[in-house]
Chains A and B, each alone.
Chain A
């Protein structure tokens, strides 16, 4: 399978714990995006990388959130001291800069439940 993969698919954690999610993009894609989707809403942009550089972070991304993309390949999203409001689906997408149609390819998402 050469699509975008995310791990884990589901995560249940207690409030105050730290969690980390992983995203593996399509191998030749140089841009990687993280979105958050709460119940009944469309995905909202969190942050994106071009190769290993994190170029933008949304106001939604509080100080408890950090994302990395070492070596410009896979990416991780860490949430420290989780809160119940962090419960959501976290989606990763990748694209190829220079591809004129701007299509993003999405992974299956990681559903986080904070109890």
Chain B
């Protein structure tokens, strides 16, 4: 069965610093992977996705993620954090019938 583990429920970085949010997955088939962002009291917005092809995926707001099959990882990065990046981030893997299995989330705090 597919599953997702996000290491670190809370990450804090300074404005302008590198953002690294970790995601490891477990899947018996080639995975389709997503990163979503959630701002307070709002739904989920897609940041980026990996389906097939290039393993380095670029998303919105300057985020990118690299699919590493050997490490079963799909970590999310951004070179320079902005105050507006403060939010909850969720990694997800697609199961059968397009259902999504989410990690527990990582709350990103940006320090001025």
- Which residues of A does B touch, CB under 8 Å? 4, 6, 31, 33, 35, 40-45, 48, 55-56, 91, 93, 95, 97, 100-109, 111
Return the contact of A43 from the options B42, B49, B102 (Cβ within 8 A).
B102
Q: Is the CB of A103 within 8 A of B34?
A: yes
Q: Is the CB of A102 within 8 A of B104?
A: no
Bound CA–CA A100/B51 (angstroms): 8
B48 to A: closest C-beta gap in Å: 10
1-57 of chain B: CB within 8 A of chain A: 4, 9, 32, 34, 36, 41-46, 49, 51
**A–B pairs, 17, beta carbons within 8 Å:** A4-B43, A6-B43, A42-B103, A42-B105, A43-B90, A56-B97, A91-B44, A100-B51, A102-B98, A103-B34, A103-B46, A103-B49, A104-B98, A106-B36, A108-B42, A108-B43, A111-B41
B52 to A: closest C-beta gap in Å: 9
Contact mask for chain B residues 93-111; partner A; CB cutoff 8 A; 1 contact, 0 none = 0100111111111000000
Q: Is the CB of A95 within 8 A of B103?
A: no
A37 to B: closest C-beta gap in Å: 9
Return the contact of B102 from the options A6, A44, A56, A102 (Cβ within 8 A).
A44
- Which residues of B does A touch, CB under 8 Å? 4, 9, 32, 34, 36, 41-46, 49, 51, 90, 92, 94, 97-105
Which chain B residues border A56 with CB–CB below 8 Å?
97, 99
Return the contact of A33 from the options B4, B34, B42, B99 (Cβ within 8 A).
B99
Given the known interface contacts A42-B104, A100-B51, A101-B51, the answer about A106 and B44 at a Cβ–Cβ threshold of 8 Å is yes
Bound CA–CA A31/B42 (angstroms): 21
Which chain A residues border B41 with CB–CB below 8 Å?
109, 111
Which chain B residues border A55 with CB–CB below 8 Å?
97
Nearest 6 pairs between A and B by C-beta?
A42-B102, A106-B43, A106-B44, A108-B43, A102-B94, A102-B98
